[in-house]
Amino acid sequence: LSTRRDIYPVWKSDFLWVSLTTFAGASAAALIFLFFKETPFFAIAVAAPIVLIIYYAYKINLDRINSAQKHVSQLNELYQATVESLAMAIDAKDAKTHGHIQRVQTLTLRLAEYCGVTEENEIEGLRAASLMHDIGKLAISEYILNKPSPLTKWERQKVQKHPSIGADILSLVPFPYPVENLVRYHHEKWDGTGYPEGLKGEEIPLGARILSVSDCYDALRSDRPYRPKLSSKVALEHIISESGKSYYPPVVEQLVAHIDELEKAMKESEQHITSKISPLMDEDSAGSSETDDRTQIDSTVFHEIAATHIEIQALYEISRVLGKSLKVSETLSLLAERIQKLVPYASCAIFLMDSQTDQLSPYHVAGLHAEELEGIKLRVGDGITGWVAAHKQYLMNVSPAPDFMDSEVLHSAYRSCLVMPLSLNNSIVGVISLYSDQPDDYHQDHLRFMETIADPAATAIRNAIIYEQSEENAYTDVLTGLPNLRFFHVFMERELKRFANLGQPVTLLMMDLESFKEINDRFGHKTGDRILVEIATLLNSHLRESDTCVRYAGDEFVAILPGVSKDNATHAIKRIQEALDEHRIMINEHDSAQVGISIGAATFPEDGREPDILLVVADQAMYKDKAARQKKKFPSEVIRFRRGTADQSS
């Protein structure tokens, strides 16, 4: 009765031989009773050994039964413990769904009880199946299982194979109760639209129908990569809406009727899991008993499994993210963010190497004291970071104080560090310096992880640097170092949108050097190029920091003055023209040149809202200015010096 098994099978398997002994004893007692009437003393003499034999036979048989039952019980416990340990090992892989299988088991067994399931084999089958229902996900890529965005058609088909894969794995285990089909069919739907076989209604085993509801409810109540957990109310509303479609209505009714009890049971199950697989132990209780020792072992094992999975996932994310980014700042920011998931740090500084100056500068800083760390400049060989760069070897759990000789704040803020070189083809790209405010805060797992990511990180950073340099070259005039025409169009499109939103003007100055062709013809293009470089520098010096000077083409330049109206632009025009009119450029030890400049202005949005229209308007204004300057006799002139006296020639 206590195990809820039928009486006859129990009697047949456990008490048949006891009944035979009992029958033999009763028969012997009847014979003794008959003999006792006729010859009492003889009956006693005969009965004594018979009674002893029957007693010992009964005792031996009863001991055998008790021993067999105990052995079966121990085997069953061992079986369940093995299943549970394997399931927990699988479950420990994923921090997002950790504890899912134990909660599902609790829900499943409670719902089975409410639904009137009493057969012991069915209950034991549910107990095992609820723990092992997701074992087929071992064959599914971690990328798919943890994908935050919607699955593709192919990915969805892959996921839908996991019940069949799990059932095939469990088919190799000779369970004494039904498990395989419960796992295989726990994603079938009541209306026949489920998978893997599209079973419908009563074709689905009852245990699978119960497990389906339990699995879905706990999934809705748990965090997932693609959404946060739902409230009990919202989760229940979803289950109810699918009653008769996805789920067996009587199971849903029991879920609704006992939801408060089930929620409480789930919380108790969660507390049990936490206490059993906690990665930390109380110092007072650790090692106090054999149970505590076993818990500590379990804790370490499951913690290692979870940590290994997190490490693999982090390495995958780093390789995926670093491969996508071609911006140095973005690459370094993503790298620091991913590192923090596995390696603790109070501050992270990623230094990049300037090969021309042999100087290391922090291009990205995360964590505490960011402003102070950004001011650090280290030469190769100086401090801990410089030593690592010079020797291309890591340092771990040493004092980082040599990095902060000029900063008292940083000198006293950190007590240990892990510094990893980033090298590519035996050439230093940079150094990752992780600083901790705790002594000896880093261990071998941290070191192994950093060594693993060092090469892909170095490659990603070098690629980003090359890309930015190429991008900069594509937008830079090689001769003058000014932005070029390609940059102008990209920049203007962005700036005009921005200032349109701000409601502010932008003025363009089209600038053309006067009589520059004469200098080229007389002294050659090499001299002309040198003069263009000098004039570009002069133009930049007479513009604001917020202004941009572009080499448009040949001897033409364009200045972009954000926030400046056409009236205010006249001051900039006058300043630039006066500066060039007064400036003499030395061509050689005997000759110098004076080059004027004609300037025309166009203002957004007054003269146009498109860059090309503004250029046309500014160009027309520039030619008017050129004509006006020629009338006022502002010709360019070439001055020739001989022995300190000027010989002017045009």
Look at residue 511 in the predicted model and tell me its pLDDT.
Answer: 96
Q: Which residues contact 323 (CB under 8 A, 6 or more apart)?
A: 460
User: What tokens were used for 245?
Assistant: 């479609």
Please check the confidence at residue 410 and state whether its pLDDT lies above 70: yes
Look at residue 167 in the predicted model and tell me its pLDDT.
Answer: 92
pLDDT level of residue 94 (50, 70, 90 thresholds):
low
What is the sign, positive or negative, of the torsion defined by CA atoms of 380, 382, 384, 387? positive
Least confident of 25-34, 118-127, 373-382, 431-440: 25-34
Helices 259-276, 249-257: crossing angle, 10 deg rounding: 80
Mean pLDDT of the chain: 82
**CA distance linking residue 460 with residue 332, whole number of Å:** 9
**In this structure, which amino acid lies at residue 294?**
R
Q: For residue 560, give the H/E element and its range.
A: strand 556-562
**pLDDT digits 0-9 by tens, 419-456:** 999 998 889 999 999 999 999 999 988 998 899 889 88
Helix ranges (DSSP H) in 39-138: 40-91, 100-114, 120-132
**pLDDT digits 0-9 by tens, 461-507:** 988 888 888 777 788 898 999 999 988 998 998 889 989 988 999 99
Q: Which residues contact 358 (CB under 8 A, 6 or more apart)?
A: 379, 380
What is the sign, positive or negative, of the torsion defined by CA atoms of 449, 453, 458, 460? negative
Least confident of 1-10, 75-84, 432-441, 560-569: 1-10
pLDDT level of residue 392 (50, 70, 90 thresholds):
very high
Between these two residues, 213 and 338, which has the higher pLDDT value? 213
**pLDDT digits 0-9 by tens, 51-65:** 676 667 667 777 777
User: What tokens were used for 531?
Assistant: 């003069």
Q: Which residues contact 416 (CB under 8 A, 6 or more apart)?
A: 397, 398, 399, 400, 435, 436, 438, 439, 440, 441, 442
Share of the chain above pLDDT 90, in %: 43
**pLDDT digits 0-9 by tens, 260-284:** 999 999 888 766 554 444 443 333 4
Please check the confidence at residue 290 and state whether its pLDDT lies above 60: no
pTM of the model as a whole = 0.51
User: What tokens were used for 436?
Assistant: 């901790």
